[in-house]
Amino acid sequence: MHSLADKLARVRVVLVEPTYDGNLGKVARAMRNFGLTRLVLVGGRADPTSDEARWYARAEGMAVLGGCCRTKTLVEAIRGCRTVLGTSRRLGRKRGEPQSPESVLAETAPWRAAWDTAIVFGREAHGLSTGELDLCQKLIWIPSDPECPSLNLSHAVSITAYVLAKLAREDTGDAPAGAPLEPAPAEQMEAMYEHARRVWLRIGYLLHQNPDAILRRWRRILARARLTEYDVRVVRALLHQTDWVAGVAEIPPGGPHDAPPGLFDKHARRDTSAADPVEEDEPRKRPVRPDGGGC
């Protein structure tokens, strides 16, 4: 029988720009309480080797602190993950559809997956940016009192880790037949979105003033679809073909921004003044029905 730590060995806890050493220690201890062992830091000033961090981690969290790694960007931190879950207190149309920890974790079941899952937590002061949440497929929102909605970073990690551990511990069965296909890694998805951004800007589908508005909606649609690596190749083949056709049509790479005036004017009317007039030898006749009657 696998231990809880074995079940959750493929789950990464990612902290974006953590500031306080004490919080880092508390997170490490909470992670170990609930079977999580992999901690990744994205920039930030918090020092896992400081006395304060080690004091709050206690003996239980020391292994987590000692094994944590630091990356420069969130993209690096989630590289190789095929499921990326973001957390946020702030909600909004651009930030995706929020779900409770129970809903998201039961749906994604990271303990069953044969691939890595990242759960991303934001800065102590203001959480994750909208752009960072774009890298996540689902949004975890922990309901709290509206009069005091903001959770301490270590508390948010503790609640999420508790729910994850509870669901993993209760799930003792084998993976069901017809389990979802393995989704594409995060870096392949991001390469696809960058490709789409470039091609769609060229053909005028995205507005130069705010290209992320429509692209963000496509991120939500494709995140629900859980694309496999083969799916990503199919989408990119369409993008390559679209780009090739745009080149044949002599559309500049910069799209409407660099195109000659009028090229992207959908309402421009064709100039037919120079066309040869149609000569008619006799007045047009009304068509006649087969039975001889008029139309």
At 29-40, the pLDDT tens digits run 999 999 999 999
Q: Is the pTM of this model over 0.85?
A: no
Q: Which of 170, 201, 226 is the endpoint of a domain?
A: 170
**Per-residue pLDDT, 283:** 53
- My answer on whether 134 and 248 are in the same domain is no
pLDDT digits (tens, 9 = 90+) for 127-182: 999 999 999 999 999 988 888 878 999 999 999 999 999 999 998 765 544 456 78
Percent helix, strand and coil across the chain, each to the nearest 5 = 40, 15, 45
- My answer on whether 155 and 234 are in the same domain is no
Q: From 11, 50, 218, select the one nearest 134 (Cα to Cα).
A: 218
pLDDT digits (tens, 9 = 90+) for 84-94: 999 987 666 65
**Per-residue pLDDT, 177:** 42
**Per-residue pLDDT, 89:** 79
Q: Which domain holds residue 229?
A: 186-256
- My answer on whether 57 and 143 are in the same domain is yes
Segments of the chain with pLDDT less than 70 = 1, 90-96, 173-180, 266-295
- My answer on whether 73 and 98 are in the same domain is yes
Q: From 244, 249, 248, 242, select the one nearest 263 (Cα to Cα).
A: 249
- My answer on whether 217 and 116 are in the same domain is no
Task: Collect all residues with Cβ–Cβ distance below 8 Å to 2 and sequence separation of at least 6.
Answer: none
- My answer on whether 12 and 157 are in the same domain is yes
Distance CA 254, CA 244 (A): 14
**Per-residue pLDDT, 11:** 98
Listed in sequence order, the DSSP H helices in 177-273 are 186-202, 212-225, 229-248
